[in-house]
């Protein structure tokens, strides 16, 4: 087990760079923080490159890290890698894995969702609902943003999350005769009025502007959730949960 004590160590500087999207994209890696996320990454197996742990923390004895390298660092270094108020003192450097999903039957398509808490919650909800794949389009917050990772609670390691062109994806799904349901406030049907199918894709959009109109023109149907109170709209992550569970039943 290596032990690093200097915050100026090149490895420490590289780890800290992973807090930026630019470095994550360049290196094809990302950093997860906290006991739960590191444990979920280890369960997935192939993703974890290295574990970093504070000398004030240590690895839980129940964990099987196998041959994964473990580096012990000072509390100062550990805290410098965190953007939380109460760092847990444990991290993992993981690979970004692009997974093909040729046999997927259910999809969540996400268009320009910018709040990391929303995106992470939507990924977690898709995982809980048994959705086969999540497709994140341009304009959305980085799927490996630290707040997205925390909100998703390990779901990044449970299902494919693909960054892609939603126009191409909707076209491909149409060609496969998989119904694509958009979400809109105008020219849409109440979600309870449609018949559910075993294969489907749900397309949800930006917190303020909704789904891109060009995409809505390509969908099988567009849906809305009735509002019975005085609120103007539902949070996009909440709406996604309602619709996914309805479509998946």
pLDDT tens, 13-60? 999 999 999 999 999 999 999 999 999 999 987 899 999 999 999 899
- Please indicate, yes or no, whether residues 123 and 230 belong to a single structural domain of this protein: yes
Q: Is the pLDDT of residue 102 over 80?
A: no
Residue 151 placed within a domain? yes
Residue 25 placed within a domain? yes
Side-chain half-sphere exposure of 56, counting CA atoms within 13 A: 10
- Please indicate, yes or no, whether residues 63 and 152 belong to a single structural domain of this protein: no
Q: Whole-angstrom Cα distance, residue 112 to residue 212?
A: 9
Q: Which residues contact 82 (CB under 8 A, 6 or more apart)?
A: 33
Q: Is the pLDDT of residue 249 over 90?
A: no
Domain count, the chain: 2
Residue 195 placed within a domain? yes
Q: Which of 59, 75, 95 is the last residue of a domain?
A: 95
Q: Whole-angstrom Cα distance, residue 40 to residue 223?
A: 34
Range of the domain at 212: 106-248
- Structural element, H or E, at residue 243: helix 236-248
* Confidence band, pLDDT 50/70/90 cuts, at residue 217: very high
- Please indicate, yes or no, whether residues 81 and 110 belong to a single structural domain of this protein: no
Residue 100 placed within a domain? no
- Please indicate, yes or no, whether residues 182 and 219 belong to a single structural domain of this protein: yes
- Please indicate, yes or no, whether residues 77 and 134 belong to a single structural domain of this protein: no
Q: Which residues contact 14 (CB under 8 A, 6 or more apart)?
A: none
Q: 113 in helix, strand or coil?
A: coil
Pairing mode of beta strands 90-95, 29-33: antiparallel
More confident residue, 64 or 178: 178
Residue 40 placed within a domain? yes
Q: Which one-letter DSSP state was computed for residue 156?
A: G
> Residue 216's domain is classified under what CATH number?
3.40.1280.10
Q: Which of 30, 183, 40 is nearest to 108 (CA)?
A: 183
- Please indicate, yes or no, whether residues 209 and 111 belong to a single structural domain of this protein: yes
Residue 150 placed within a domain? yes
Q: Whole-angstrom Cα distance, residue 182 to residue 167?
A: 13
> Residue 44's domain is classified under what CATH number?
3.30.1330.30
- Please indicate, yes or no, whether residues 118 and 238 belong to a single structural domain of this protein: yes
More confident residue, 134 or 185: 134
How far CA 11 is from CA of 41, 72, 92, 143, 144, in Å, comes to 21, 12, 13, 24, 20
- The pLDDT of residue 150: 98
- The pLDDT of residue 138: 95
Residue 101 placed within a domain? no
Q: Which of 43, 64, 95 is the last residue of a domain?
A: 95
First to last CA, the chain: 49
């Amino acid at each position: 087990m290596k032990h690093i004590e200097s915050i100026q160590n090149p490895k420490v500087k590289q780890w800290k760079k992973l807090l930026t999207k630019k470095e994550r994209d360049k290196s094809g890696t990302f950093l997860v923080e906290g006991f739960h996320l590191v444990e979920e990454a280890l369960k997935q197996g192939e993703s974890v490159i290295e574990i970093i742990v504070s000398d004030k923390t240590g690895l839980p004895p129940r964990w099987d890290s196998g041959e994964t390298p473990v580096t012990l660092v000072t509390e100062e270094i550990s805290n410098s890698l965190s953007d939380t108020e109460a760092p847990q003192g444990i991290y993992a450097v993981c690979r970004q894995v692009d997974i093909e999903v040729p046999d997927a039957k259910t999809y969540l398509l996400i268009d320009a969702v910018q709040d990391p808490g929303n995106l992470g919650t939507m990924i977690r909800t898709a995982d809980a609902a048994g959705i086969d794949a999540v497709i994140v389009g341009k304009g959305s917050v980085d799927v490996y943003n630290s707040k997205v990772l925390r909100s998703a609670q390990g779901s990044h390691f449970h299902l494919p999350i693909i960054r892609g062109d939603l126009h191409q994806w909707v076209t491909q799904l149409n060609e496969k005769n998989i119904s694509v349901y958009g979400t809109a406030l105008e020219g849409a049907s109440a979600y309870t009025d449609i018949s559910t199918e075993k294969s489907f894709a749900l397309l949800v959009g930006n917190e303020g502007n909704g789904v891109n109109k060009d995409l809505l023109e390509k969908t099988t149907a567009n849906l809305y959730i009735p509002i019975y109170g005085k609120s103007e709209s539902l949070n996009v992550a909440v709406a996604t949960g309602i619709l996914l569970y309805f479509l998946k039943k």
